[in-house]
């Protein structure tokens, strides 16, 4: 004890000794430097002035930013809004774009009615259509007020929005609509005014195949062009239109095959553009270059893929002629360095390698009657949602896209005519999934569902044992979409409901519901026993999800 105390007493003394010596040294130095003192004090005064001046400027900037410059007015976005049209019918089309430039996505939709709506004074006759005719409308995502609305066709068929327009046209982006019996119109996305309109040269009884495709610029006018495929007399014909003027490029060309809707544009590893379409039990293909050269007789700078051309020429335009069962859906799958192709047939789902079209995996599921959607179950790893079966037997399967392994599956009976599922990326690099089903999941062994309402469920992979029942809808749903209205949190469901038959007009309704609000008022469905979290804790957790736009 003594020795410690002694040490403790000695050390401070030592330190003080050191300091004394230092001070002494400093004083000596200062005396040495005495001659340069005036210069130094002027310098230090300058430094002081500079210091206070910069401090003052900093404070001023902070003051100006925080008090004087007002915060930019964030438009207030209503969590829910609804627009109704009486005696109308509507179409399976929804698109979101920021039309009024308030940085909140707005909603584009299509409906058919006799006399224009009350919002704008436009009638079918104004645009030369007989009544009823199809109107296109844009609703503000913030509060549902109609931004523009106008007659666009006698009867709507296909719509493609966000088609870039040349600088000199006065519009930066257009919505293009193919109407029945045969019209093509481009309207300015932001104002709804007509950019151009033409009638098409489709044959009388042509059926227009979906979708309306945007293809690379073929006529070298700096604007992407448009491709329409029609089924006429058991043969698929192609029509190419200039995206800038709407004029037809060349004449009608036959693809020499019989096909159905659901074709897609596919880019091979060599950068060649191909149209792939389901034709009976085969996969048919044609290069965009070949189609263009056939209808115009001119050369195109686009490419062909030599290896694909070999296959196509030996097999009568068929890329895969031995597919198992009729092809129902084709889905582009993004892949490192290109695309793969997911093919759903009446027997199985197959992921095809993007170049060789060799199967990477095959998943046997004979009852897939909905187009699969993609999302992320594990972070940054693509998964595909397969719905096997319909109504009472329906099963939702989430497969890992790289391997075809089942990640999650759940029986989710649904009413006939239930809407398409949806997914939306979340900030944790996964996705939230939205499925429609019956309210009573447990009543799956009843043959006749008692309920007549569709229920919307949300699923997030971080809680695989839980579904949230977000809403019940008893109206007939024509179109459904989940979109990110504002970055981060403001994701919302858009629901377009209306009469089931186009011949029986009724109430058409477009509604937006903020997902976060739906989550907070949702019913928690536990799929597995033994979850420890309370329902409220689960709702709170999922209501804090942040959403991202598609990559």
Give contact residues for ligand NAG (rule: CB under 6 A): 75, 102, 121, 127-128, 140, 142-143, 145, 185, 194, 197, 204-205, 233, 365-367, 388-389, 393, 395, 439, 442-443, 445, 469-472, 522-523
Query: Is 464 buried (19+), middle (13-18) or exposed (0-12) by CB count in 10 A?
Result: middle
Nearer to ligand NAG, 300 or 410 (CB): 410
Nearer to ligand NAG, 114 or 145 (CB): 145
The CA-atom distances, in angstroms, between 264 and each of 212, 308, 454 are 10, 16, 30
Residue for token digits 């095809």?
352
> 56-84 burial string, b = 16+ CB within 10 Å, else e?
eeeeeeeeeeeeeeeeeeeeebeeebebe
Smallest distance from ligand NAG to CB 120, Å: 8
One DSSP character per residue, 273-318 reads EEEEEEETTEEEEEEHHHHHHHHHSS--S----HHHHHHHHHTTTE
Smallest distance from ligand NAG to CB 349, Å: 10
d(CA 343, CA 354): 12
CB-based contacts of 310, cutoff 8 Å, min separation 6:
none
Nearer to ligand NAG, 4 or 204 (CB): 204
Nearer to ligand NAG, 118 or 313 (CB): 118
Smallest distance from ligand NAG to CB 204, Å: 5
Smallest distance from ligand NAG to CB 250, Å: 22
**What Rg, from alpha-carbon coordinates, does the chain have?**
32
> 9-30 burial string, b = 16+ CB within 10 Å, else e?
eeeeeeeeeeeeeeeeeeeeee
Nearer to ligand NAG, 29 or 234 (CB): 234
Smallest distance from ligand NAG to CB 207, Å: 8
Other C-beta atoms within 10 Å of 87: how many?
14
Nearer to ligand NAG, 300 or 348 (CB): 348
Smallest distance from ligand NAG to CB 340, Å: 21
Smallest distance from ligand NAG to CB 546, Å: 22
Nearer to ligand NAG, 154 or 287 (CB): 154
Give me the half-sphere count of Cα atoms (radius 13 Å) on the Cβ side of residue 68.
7
Smallest distance from ligand NAG to CB 398, Å: 12
CB-based contacts of 266, cutoff 8 Å, min separation 6:
273, 274, 275, 276, 285, 332, 339, 341
Nearer to ligand NAG, 197 or 332 (CB): 197
Other C-beta atoms within 10 Å of 213: how many?
21
């Amino acid at each position: 004890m003594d020795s410690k105390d002694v040490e403790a007493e000695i050390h401070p003394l030592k330190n003080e000794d050191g300091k004394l010596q230092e001070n002494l040294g400093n004083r000596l130095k200062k005396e040495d430097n005495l001659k340069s003192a005036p210069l130094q004090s002027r310098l230090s005064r300058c430094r002081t002035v500079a210091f206070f001046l910069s401090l003052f400027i900093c404070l001023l900037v902070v003051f100006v930013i925080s008090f004087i410059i007002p915060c930019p007015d964030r438009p207030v976005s209503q969590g829910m809004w609804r627009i109704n049209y009486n005696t109308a019918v509507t179409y399976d089309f929804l698109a979101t774009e920021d039309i009024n430039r308030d940085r909140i996505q707005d909603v584009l939709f299509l409906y058919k009615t006799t006399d224009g709506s009350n919002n704008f004074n436009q009638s079918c006759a104004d645009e030369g259509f007989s009544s009823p005719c199809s109107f296109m409308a844009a609703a503000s995502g913030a509060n549902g007020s109609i931004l523009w609305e106008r007659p666009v066709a006698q009867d709507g068929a296909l719509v493609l929005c966000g088609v870039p327009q040349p600088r000199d046209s006065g519009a930066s982006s257009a919505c293009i609509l193919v109407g029945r019996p045969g019209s093509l119109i481009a309207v300015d996305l932001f104002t709804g005014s007509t950019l151009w309109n033409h009638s098409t040269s489709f044959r009388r009884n042509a059926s227009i195949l979906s979708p309306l495709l945007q293809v690379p610029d073929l006529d070298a006018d700096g604007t992407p062009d448009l491709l329409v495929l029609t089924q006429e007399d058991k043969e698929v014909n192609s029509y190419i239109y200039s995206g800038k003027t709407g004029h037809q490029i060349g004449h009608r060309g036959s693809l020499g095959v019989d096909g159905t809707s659901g074709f897609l544009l596919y880019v091979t590893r060599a950068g060649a553009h191909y149209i792939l379409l389901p034709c009976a039990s085969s996969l048919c293909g044609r290069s965009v270059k070949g189609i263009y050269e056939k209808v115009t007789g001119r050369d195109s700078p686009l490419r062909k893929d030599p290896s694909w051309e070999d296959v196509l020429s030996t097999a009568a335009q068929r890329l895969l002629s031995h597919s198992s069962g009729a092809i129902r859906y084709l889905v582009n799958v993004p892949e490192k360095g290109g695309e793969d192709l997911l093919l759903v047939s009446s027997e199985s789902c197959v992921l095809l390698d993007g170049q060789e079209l060799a199967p990477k995996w095959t998943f046997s599921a004979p009852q897939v009657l909905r187009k699969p959607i993609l999302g992320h179950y594990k972070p940054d790893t693509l998964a595909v949602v397969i719905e096997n079966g319909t109504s009472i037997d329906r099963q939702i399967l989430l497969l890992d896209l790289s391997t075809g392994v089942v990640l999650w599956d759940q029986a989710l009976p649904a009413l006939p005519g239930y809407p398409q599922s949806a997914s939306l990326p979340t900030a944790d690099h996964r996705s939230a999934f939205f499925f429609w089903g019956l309210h009573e999941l447990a009543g799956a062994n009843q043959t006749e569902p008692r309920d007549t309402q569709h229920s919307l469920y949300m699923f997030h992979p971080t809680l695989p044992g839980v579904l949230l029942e977000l809403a019940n809808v008893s109206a007939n749903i024509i179109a459904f979409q989940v979109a990110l209205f504002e970055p981060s949190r403001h994701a919302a469901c858009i629901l377009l409901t209306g009469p089931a038959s186009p011949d029986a007009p009724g109430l058409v309704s477009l509604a937006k519901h903020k997902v976060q609000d739906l989550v907070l008022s949702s019913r928690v469905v536990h799929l597995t026993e033994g979850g420890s979290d309370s329902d409220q804790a689960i709702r709170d957790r999922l209501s804090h999800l942040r959403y991202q736009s598609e990559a």
